[in-house]
Amino acid sequence: MKEIKFSLVYRDMWQSSGKYVPRKDQLARIAPVIVDMGCFSRVETNGGASEQVNLLYGENPNESVRTFTKTFNEAGIQTHMLDRGLNGLRMNPVPADVRELMYKVKKAQGVDITRIFCGLNDVRNIIPSIRWAKAAGMIPQGTLCITYSEIHTAEYYIHMAEQLIDAGAQEICLKDMAGIGRPVMLGRIVKAIKSAHPDIVVQYHGHTGPGFSVASMLEVAKAGVDYLDCAIEPLAWGMVHPDVLTIQAMLKDAGFRVPEINMKAYMEARSLTQSFIDDFLGYFIDDRNRFLTGLLIGCGLPGGMMGSLMADLKGVHAAINGNLKAQGKSEMSEDELLTALFDEVKYIWPKLGNPPLVTPFSQYVKNVALMNLFTMSKGGKRYEMIDKNTWDMILGKAGKLPGKLDPEIVELARKNNFEFFEGNPQDNYPNELPRFIREMEELGWDRGRDDEELFEFAMHEKQYREYKSGEAKRRFNKELEAAMAEKHSAQNLPLPDISRLNQLKYKDAELLIAPVSGRVMWELDFDDRSMAPVPGTRIRKGQHLYTIQASFGMEHIESFLEGRILVVEKNQGEPVKKGDVVAYIEKN
């Protein structure tokens, strides 16, 4: 029976759950454990928004990528990144010279495969990247953005795959970003590709949001798929991807050859990932992203944007209710607003030309829907607030829309004296590298190894400036304080002493969180065992730190890293509640 290999989408696990991704030091800790699991032939290490996110919390993304890929390179595990084609690693189009430089930089940083997609499935935005990636020594993976409509049939995607293979794509990915691709249709696509091109590697990426993806994985496996993207708990399922344990067991029972999983390493990776959530990442994860929902079937929004969507809803919820109240109408709960937003997306999507709902076009459609709800809540009409990026999509500046625009949208463009564009989208965005090179020389900024700092500046100009000035880190610390305060207030938990933590350089500290309620019993090797450890006490990874005397018995806690105690919040014998910070640890 055919062999199926697994890829761990560790980057996407975080991006589909919340706003931020792990720090460089956290990635360095998890990488060897992923290798020890023994079941992953590939790991998604970077790309998409993740490198912009590094800048947003004040970390150099180039160092982060090199750190994460190094362990996998040495172990012979392939690394892959997410590449938005015309948009590179950001939400808006990128000049051709910056796009071309990206592949040279990422290859030098240890990334093997680039998963190139266009949010409109316009192959003109993918084909140049295939050429540049091959020239840089990377493997170009042409990508089909899967969605479900009268336009997006199996035949539509089979034809697109043929175009990408003719252009030099060595692999094809079915990127089922919302998980709404129907299993049988996906199987038909894979079977057609593998029948015509048996040597072309095919990989399936399906989010679990609406619940189809496990069935889809079985169908594409039967059709000849080579790789399946999987996740691991505690971030699997919900808006993310199926857990590798489930998929391995399902395929093994179906007679496929699949790799064995080192369960000791799996549990360690699971524990480490949870520690990253407890550290700071969990403060930016909406709890609802942990659940599947059939509501996504109708609107087709991807799991990867649910974190930002929930943040947007919170921002506009009060304003919409204020408008409704002023008109004597009933206010909406968050769930009612979420359902209304999904319904509005479903309604306007075909009117906007059926763009596949993937970054950035899913955000554009969502934004139009959200602004429609806002303007209608105060008695206005639809489409009163459409931003420039969305108009660029409507007018064809980002590529050709798969479907036809509604006459109402065409008329609105005419009233605004907007012109539709039918040429090559890249022509709208001329080369810019010389400008960035000149400015770096004037500022005395190093272009970095393999021009990686130049690339980062040119790709994420605003965020890179704020990273260099320190403004990004200052803003992130304020954002973290606010997020921690909100979450602890909502859960009726005591708020950690942020000021003390900031004095000790928060980026160098890890939180030791009580997993259960009870009484703290410290058991480190101090001179006086009746006392808690003093600041500066050294600890080893795997060392027994303390015990919580809980109602059900003793809960023993081990250290998840090497380092030293910075601050102790709970002394010997003190009561703790689940979620309390017991201590802060500085990692080595």
pLDDT in tens, 220-247: 999 999 999 999 999 999 989 999 999 9
Q: Within this chain, do residues 269 and 318 fall inside the same structural domain, yes or no?
A: no
Q: Within this chain, do residues 216 and 157 fall inside the same structural domain, yes or no?
A: yes
pLDDT score recorded for residue 67: 97
Q: Report yes or no on 570 lying in a domain.
A: yes
Q: Within this chain, do residues 330 and 276 fall inside the same structural domain, yes or no?
A: no
- Look up residue 519 and give its DSSP letter: E
Q: b or e along 498-513 (b: 16 or more beta carbons within 10 Å of the residue's beta carbon)? A: eeebeeeebbebbbbb
Separation CA 261–CA 425 (nearest Å)? 45
Q: Report yes or no on 274 lying in a domain.
A: yes
Among 409, 426, 443, give the residue marking a domain's end. 426
What 3-state class would DSSP assign to 484?
helix
Q: Within this chain, do residues 131 and 169 fall inside the same structural domain, yes or no?
A: yes
Q: Within this chain, do residues 124 and 78 fall inside the same structural domain, yes or no?
A: yes
Q: Within this chain, do residues 377 and 396 fall inside the same structural domain, yes or no?
A: yes
Q: Which residues pair with 513 in a beta bridge?
A: 581
Among 379, 396, 426, give the residue marking a domain's end. 426
Q: Report yes or no on 144 lying in a domain.
A: yes
Separation CA 86–CA 88 (nearest Å)? 6
pTM to 2 decimal places: 0.80
pLDDT score recorded for residue 499: 47
Q: Within this chain, do residues 273 and 309 fall inside the same structural domain, yes or no?
A: no
Q: Report yes or no on 95 lying in a domain.
A: yes
For residue 548, the tally of other CB atoms under 10 A from its CB is: 23
Q: Report yes or no on 431 lying in a domain.
A: no
Q: Report yes or no on 450 lying in a domain.
A: no
- Look up residue 450 and give its DSSP letter: G
pLDDT score recorded for residue 501: 46
Q: Within this chain, do residues 277 and 357 fall inside the same structural domain, yes or no?
A: no
The CA angle 310-313-315, to the nearest 5 degrees, is 115
The structural domain count of the chain equals 3
Q: Report yes or no on 460 lying in a domain.
A: no
Q: Within this chain, do residues 137 and 260 fall inside the same structural domain, yes or no?
A: yes
Q: Within this chain, do residues 225 and 304 fall inside the same structural domain, yes or no?
A: no
Q: For residue 60, give its domain range.
A: 5-233+251-285
Q: Where does 267-422 show beta strands of DSSP type E?
A: none
pLDDT score recorded for residue 509: 62
Q: Report yes or no on 448 lying in a domain.
A: no
Mean pLDDT, consecutive 10-residue stretches, the chain (588 aa), reads: 96 91 96 98 96 94 97 98 96 95 98 96 97 98 95 96 98 95 98 98 96 97 98 95 98 98 97 93 85 83 67 76 88 88 92 89 89 89 88 93 94 93 93 97 97 98 94 89 74 53 50 80 50 70 81 74 80 77 79
Tell me the pLDDT tens digit for each residue of 271-306.
999 999 999 999 888 787 888 888 788 888 876 566
